[in-house]
Structure 1
Amino acid sequence: MPGGAQVLYQAAALCLTYPDDAFRTRLPLLREAAPQLREFTDHAAATPQPALQAHYVEVFDFKNRHSLYLSWWTDGDTRRRGMSLVRFKELYRAHGLELTGEELPDFLPAVLEFTARTGSTEPLVEHRDALDRLRSRLAAFGTPYARVLDAVCATLPSTSPGARR
């Protein structure tokens, strides 16, 4: 994977996390490091912090319609989801990484950070259909977060006809 893609994945991971003070501080670096995300980073820089935080909560925290948890898109709230989460953890361990913190292993920013660190696009490619559906819903909602998904999806192969639905 080209180094530029790794930088993009790390920057996208940061853009898709809650916009706290540390996020605001990183914005100039994100803007320069990942020009593919400039539409989003420019919007974030021009938006007052409380409005940006309220928008994030509105987009990602109220309903699963814009879920950042990839296995939710493939498994919903079923038992299968537990096995999907185990597969994410096993993939991380196979690359010498352990997920720390409170988020589940299928949280898109965590998956993007994994990809940036390891160069393995496997979980993104496997969940390409979910990424496309999330991107489509974010675009229909009219949120600048859709631009982040546009940039990530542009680095991945197209969904194949046999992709998991």
Structure 2
Amino acid sequence: MVQYDRADDGFSMTLRALAYLLRYPDTQWRVYLEEVGEALREAGALSRARLAQVEALIASIAQAEQLDAEAAYVELFDRGRGTALHLFEHVHGDSRERGPAMLDLIATYEQAGLALRTDELPDHLTVLLEYASTQPREAAVALLGEVAHILQRIHGAVVKRGSAYSAVIGALLDLAGVRADAAAQAEHEPEPEPDLDASWQEPAAFDGCGNQGQQGRQGQPGAGQPQPVHIVRRAAADSPAAHSAAQGARA
């Protein structure tokens, strides 16, 4: 008989519910809002304070006019890189590295037995969360931790715009074990942020995120083990280390 861990099942359910809340709020989407709220309460993975914030978001969308809710979503997530839900937008921008990274991420999903719809891009946060929800809890937490620096950036930008959607991103940071309020404070620092394309690089797109039951590539962990995603800061563009690395790459 298969044994289920209720805590792990609740964690996975929470990831799927939060992913749902970050999708475009069309008419069909709104039909299931109440059920999503119930699922989050039943899962018990969020703190009372965070759950209250997420429920406030659900209530505000449910009470808003359909067109207003859709317009607010587009204005928040589709206008400007800082709040973009496509993770590689924060990593690669419009550079040529984004294409291969997308293909590698699609391969990761396919190895897990998941298939994207034709209207989905693999680096969208909702897609990544759906994938994470299929993995063991330890692996899912590790994955959230690997993209936490991007989530912090998005959270801070959403907070700065005064949107209640910050509760959802904050909940993801909570699940990753990262303090969400630190991200909001960082957005108010006087020093300007560096250009995203020059500040971040991702050496191997979501390398190591294998599916259960298969041995990953190049010695990646097997089933039930943490599946690390390596998205790291790049050395400053004018630093000796960065200059040396660039010379080595051209050699």
TM-score (norm 2): 0.60
For residue 135 of structure 1, report the CA deviation from its aligned partner: 0.8
Match of 2:226 in 1: none
Match of 2:95 in 1: 78
Task: Determine whether 1:132 maps to 2:149.
Answer: no
Q: How does 1:62-141 map to 2 (within 5 A)?
A: 62-119=79-136, 120-121=139-140, 122-141=142-161
Which ranges in structure 2 are unaligned for 5 or more consecutive residues?
1-6, 42-50, 180-229, 234-251
Which deviations, in whole Å up to 9, do the C-alpha atoms of 1:3-47 show, x marking residues without a partner? 222111111111111101121110110111114331221221222
Which ranges in structure 1 are unaligned for 5 or more consecutive residues?
none
State the superposition RMSD in angstroms. Answer: 2.0
Question: Equivalents in 2 of 1:34, 1:136: separation in Å?
Answer: 23
Match of 1:144 in 2: 164
Q: 29, 35, 40: which one pairs with 1:34?
A: 40
Comparing both chains, which one has the higher relative contact order based on Cα–Cα distances under 8 Å and sequence gaps of 6 or more?
Answer: 1
Question: Equivalents in 2 of 1:163, 1:103: separation in Å?
Answer: 22
For residue 123 of structure 1, report the CA deviation from its aligned partner: 4.2
Q: 11, 25, 34: which one pairs with 2:31?
A: 25
| Amino acid in structure 1 at the alignment position of 2:14 | L
Match of 2:14 in 1: 8
Question: Equivalents in 2 of 1:117, 1:9: separation in Å?
Answer: 10
For residue 109 of structure 1, report the CA deviation from its aligned partner: 0.9
SS of the residue corresponding to residue 112 of structure 1 reads helix
For residue 163 of structure 1, report the CA deviation from its aligned partner: 6.4
For residue 101 of structure 1, report the CA deviation from its aligned partner: 2.4
Task: Determine whether 1:164 maps to 2:164.
Answer: no
Question: Equivalents in 1 of 2:112, 2:144: separation in Å?
Answer: 15
C-alpha contact 1:8 1:34 (8 A) present in aligned 2: yes
List structure 1 segments (4+ residues) > 3 angstroms apart after TM superposition. none
TM-score (norm 1): 0.88
Match of 2:77 in 1: 60
Which deviations, in whole Å up to 9, do the C-alpha atoms of 1:41-94 show, x marking residues without a partner? 122122221111110111112222311101111121112222321231122122
Going by fraction, where is helix more abundant, 1 or 2? 1
